[in-house]
Amino acid sequence: MWYRVARASEFLVITGIGINELKITKKALVWPLQKCRVIDVTPVNYTFEVNAMSAEKLPFLLPAVFTIGPCVNDPEGLVKYAKLLSHHQRDSHDVKDLVQGVIEGETRVLAASMTMEEIFKGTKDFKKEVFDKVQLCLLIYNANIKQLVDVEGHEYFSYLGQKTQMEAANQAKIDVAEAKMKGEIGAKEREGLTRQNAAKIDAETKVISTQRDGVGKKEEVKVKTDVKIYESQREAEAKMAEIEAQKAVALREAELQQEVERKNALTKTESLKAQHLSKATVDYEIKVQEANSVLYKKQKEAEAELYENRKAAEAKKLGADAQTYAVQLAADAALYAKKKEAEGLVATAEAQGVYVRNLLSALGGNYNALRDYLMIEGGMFIDIAKIIAEGIKGLQPKISIWTNGASGGQMVDGTSSGQAGLQELASVYKALPPLLETVHEQTGMLPPAWMGSLSVSAADPATSNQSA
């Protein structure tokens, strides 16, 4: 008995007593009568040159390098690998021949189902198909497919390369010609744009230069005008000052003279007041008083009109506010009325619901009886009778009654034929109750409510006739 531990890239395969087939683990206690073998799962590079043939029956040589190793993430596949390949050395020719045979076989089958163009252009898809086809729990970690090589006597890839080179050369010539054309067109466009921009800039320069000259001349004229205006103002102010000085002297002389004359006039007035008032002074004072009176009257009238207009405006504003308030109250009242009306309808509907539920409960849940009661209570039958009567008003129907009674218009009891017909109808109605009773006894079916009802005992024919 001993304890075995595998390296990071190894697994222990234990067989023997107590183990069903085999056990794969990284560490284990090996008992007697058990055998432990180490398998290495490190990927190994295999170089192959596969001779294959495409779907067009074209042979080619496929050199490739495959990095292959066991799939450590698949326990079932690892068990399969341990069963089939663990007894061989990892680098032995047996393993290499086995892997090479599997890969070459799958590669040939896959190449036979693809065209040469698909193999040449779809190398990634080709590698993926090879990856998916490998069995024996072998995982292809990497497949480096080298350049496909022609088999001697079949130069498909060389011809294909020549075709590609010619196409590339032709495309290069086309690209060069197109680039040259674009260059010449671009040069001409650039030259034209340069001339257009130069002409545009020259025109804008002339316009700006002219505008600048005009602005300069305008400013110069404006400055000269301002100078002349200022000089004229100064000259006028000087003359005005000189005139004002002269007028001030004259005005002062006039004031002094007026003062002298006023003093003289006062002296004369005072001397004459003692005797009588100056007529001119009296007239002047009267006119002044009249003018003051007229002015005061007009001022008061204007103030009164202004006050009246102001009060009228305030009255209009109050009227408008009152009208707005009235409209608002009317709208509130209408809203309140609608709300109360809706509440009344809801209350009426609830009351009617309670009324109908009570009636239905009182009638024992008989919907037909409730319907008949509501129709009678609502007067529907009376309205129907009125409508029918209005419809047949004025009609004169002719009713013919055929009976098998006695001839000569006389019945056995001596009545007339008309009365005999009515008696026949009466006999039919009299026969209904026994008929309904018989149907009820035999089938258990009751007559409809509009036709009548049977008595509880169903034994008295007279009662049945009255019910019918």
Chain segment 322-369, per-residue pLDDT in tens: 888 888 888 888 888 888 888 888 888 888 888 888 888 888 888 888
Residue for token digits 């009545």? 415
Within a domain: residue 343?
A: no
Q: So what's the pLDDT on residue 467?
A: 38
Report the alpha-carbon distance of residue 28 to residue 24 in Å, rounded: 9
User: Model pTM?
Assistant: 0.33
- pLDDT higher than threshold 60 for residue 177: yes
CA 267 to chain centre: 106
Tell me what the mean pLDDT of segment 210-223 comes to: 85
Between 151 and 109, where is the model more confident? 109
Reference 409, options 395, 422, 419; nearest CA is: 419
Tell me what the mean pLDDT of segment 404-432 comes to: 63
With vertex at residue 282, the alpha carbon angle to CA 277 and CA 287, rounded to the nearest 5 degrees, is 180
Local structure of 455: helix, strand or coil? coil
Local structure of 403: helix, strand or coil? coil
Reference 79, options 28, 34, 14, 131; nearest CA is: 14
Q: Which two tokens stand for residue 100?
A: 């090479």
* Percentage of residues of the chain with pLDDT beyond 90: 0
Within a domain: residue 209?
A: no
Task: Quickly count: other Cβ atoms within 10 Å of residue 437's Cβ.
Answer: 20
What CATH code is carried by the domain that includes residue 61? 3.30.479.30
Q: Which structural domain range is residue 127 located in? A: 41-154
Within a domain: residue 383?
A: no
Of 166-170, 253-257, 420-424, the least confident: 420-424
The residue out of 99, 133, 154 marking a domain boundary is 154
Task: For residue 64, list its beta bridge partners.
Answer: 48, 145
Within a domain: residue 215?
A: no
Within a domain: residue 204?
A: no
Beta strands 59-70 and 44-53, pairing class = antiparallel
Instruction: Indicate the pLDDT class of residue 464, thresholds 50, 70 and 90.
Output: very low
Tell me what the mean pLDDT of segment 403-428 comes to: 60
Count of the separate structural domains present in the chain? 2
Q: So what's the pLDDT on residue 163?
A: 74
Report the alpha-carbon distance of residue 187 to residue 192 in Å, rounded: 9
Report the alpha-carbon distance of residue 26 to residue 161 in Å, rounded: 53
Of 96-110, 154-168, 206-220, the least confident: 154-168
Average model confidence (pLDDT) for the chain? 78
- 21-59: pLDDT as tens digits: 888 888 888 888 888 888 888 888 878 777 777 777 778
CA distances from 376 to 158, 166, 362, 370, 381 (A): 110, 108, 17, 10, 6
Within a domain: residue 116?
A: yes
Q: So what's the pLDDT on residue 362?
A: 86
CA 102 to chain centre: 60
The residue out of 137, 154, 171 marking a domain boundary is 154
Instruction: Indicate the pLDDT class of residue 466, thresholds 50, 70 and 90.
Output: very low
Q: So what's the pLDDT on residue 127?
A: 65
Q: So what's the pLDDT on residue 465?
A: 39
Within a domain: residue 205?
A: no
The residue out of 121, 154, 187 marking a domain boundary is 154
Within a domain: residue 425?
A: yes
- pLDDT higher than threshold 80 for residue 273: no
